[in-house]
């Protein structure tokens, strides 16, 4: 299944994309795509629905984040060896974890706003993992059974804030609009192997990232197991699994986002995002 939330920001409705690519309204079935909807039992009930019996949504409504009220967003740093190399970081011996504030989360095609005073806003295409059933100290072998599905993440980052503002990556990762998710959540049954997905990102039509999840240092099952050792993963939590090489910081010389830039990114089978970059109003010259 492809589950979505559509409509104006803050008033999104639950939906489903049928096999013909048509948006269907799920409001008569579930109140929202949230923690209650994402557990295995609830998803199994949704899977029995014939989408053709659901109302068709006309037009081209905005897509919001596919998961409502994300409890926590855990990100994995340096999970592709080539990305670690381009940022002059050592290849980690165990997953590097940090948090992104949930206030950064937005829809897949909403505008990105460069933070006030920023000169080093960067892009990162990543595979997102959405937790379905509570995971607490789960084994690698059992880890994927706790996953509801997968989605596209743009883990936007302000590199100066990240590295030069006190040593905590969360400062450079949590700015407003720095967490586009979607366009939809693809349930686990439609992604038989999360380590077999191509992912890419372009800025103004130039492809900077062209990677594959098979080159992750730590795969999805390892990450879910590892993270669940340190914190309970709850339904609706999102894990952003790291980015391949090709970020702006890694260019020679580095290239960063500017007002007017257009970011496009996607993952095989999981859809695409498109964001227009705007300056912060306090900095003027907003696109």
* Residues 47 and 93 placed together within one structural domain of the fold: no
What's the longest Cα–Cα distance across the chain? 54
The two structure tokens encoding residue 148: 């509801």
Least confident of 27-41, 141-155, 238-252, 273-287: 273-287
In percent, the amount of the chain with pLDDT more than 90 equals 91
Mean pLDDT of 162-186: 91
Same domain (yes/no): 27, 154:
no
* The pLDDT value given to residue 164: 84
58 located within any domain: no
Q: Is pLDDT at 285 greater than 60 in this prediction? A: no
Examine residue 63 and state whether it is found in any structural domain, yes or no: no
Mean pLDDT, the chain, rounded, equals 95
pLDDT given at position 89: 81
8 with 140, same domain: the answer is no
pLDDT tens digits, one per residue of 64-94: 999 999 999 999 999 998 888 888 888 899 9
Residue 31 has pLDDT above 90, yes or no: yes
Q: Is the pLDDT of residue 113 over 70?
A: yes
DSSP 282: G
As a whole-number percent, the residues of the chain with pLDDT over 70 amount to 98
pLDDT band at 160 (very low <50, low <70, confident <90, very high): very high
pTM for the predicted model, two decimal places: 0.96
Residue 271 predicted with pLDDT over 80: yes
Pairing mode, if any, of strands 121-122 and 157-158? antiparallel
Range of the domain at 45: 2-53
Interval 205-221: pLDDT, tens: 999 999 999 999 999 99
φ, ψ of residue 230 in degrees (nearest 5): -100, -20
Q: Is 186 left (phi over 0), alpha (psi -120 to 50) or beta?
A: beta
Measure Cα distances from 57 to 130, 138, 144, 212, 269 in Å: 25, 39, 32, 34, 22
Element (H, E) at 185: strand 185-187
Residues 173 and 100: beta-carbon distance below 8 Å: yes
Q: How confident is the model at residue 108 (pLDDT cuts 50, 70, 90)?
A: very high
First to last CA, the chain: 36
Would residue 127 count as lying in a domain? yes
In a shared domain, residues 157 and 19? no
Q: Looking at residue 237, what is its pLDDT?
A: 98
- Is residue 143 domain-resident? yes
CATH code, domain with 265: 3.90.850.10
Quick check: 125 pLDDT over 90?
yes
287 has pLDDT over 60: no
Inside any domain, residue 22 = yes
- Taking the C-alpha atoms of residue 267 and residue 151, their distance in angstroms, rounded to an integer, is 8
């Amino acid at each position: 299944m492809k589950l979505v939330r559509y409509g104006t920001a803050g008033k999104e409705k639950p939906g489903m994309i049928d096999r013909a690519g048509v948006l269907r309204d799920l409001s008569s079935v579930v109140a929202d795509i949230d923690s209650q909807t994402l557990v295995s039992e609830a998803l199994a009930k949704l899977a029995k629905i014939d989408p053709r019996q659901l109302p068709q949504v006309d037009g081209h409504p905005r897509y919001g984040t596919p998961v409502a009220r994300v409890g926590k967003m855990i990100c994995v740093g340096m999970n592709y060896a080539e990305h670690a190399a381009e940022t002059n970081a050592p290849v980690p011996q165990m997953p590097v974890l940090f948090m992104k504030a949930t206030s950064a989360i937005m829809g897949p095609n909403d505008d990105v706003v460069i933070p006030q005073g920023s000169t080093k806003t960067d892009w990162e295409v990543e595979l997102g993992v959405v937790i379905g059933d509570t995971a607490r100290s789960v084994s690698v072998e059992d880890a994927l059974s706790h996953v509801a599905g997968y989605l596209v993440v743009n883990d936007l980052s302000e590199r100066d804030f990240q590295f030069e503002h006190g040593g905590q990556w969360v400062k450079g990762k949590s700015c407003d609009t720095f967490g586009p998710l979607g366009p939809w959540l693809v349930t686990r049954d439609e992604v038989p192997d999360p380590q077999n997905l191509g992912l890419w990102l372009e800025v103004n039509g130039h492809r900077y990232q062209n990677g594959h999840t098979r080159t992750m240092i730590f795969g999805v099952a390892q990450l879910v197991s590892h993270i669940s050792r340190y914190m309970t993963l709850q339904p609706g939590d999102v894990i952003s699994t790291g980015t391949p090489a090709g970020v702006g910081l890694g260019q020679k010389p580095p290239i960063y986002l500017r007002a007017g830039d257009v970011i496009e990114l996607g993952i095989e089978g999981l859809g695409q995002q498109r964001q227009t970059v705007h300056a912060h109003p306090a900095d003027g010259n907003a696109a």
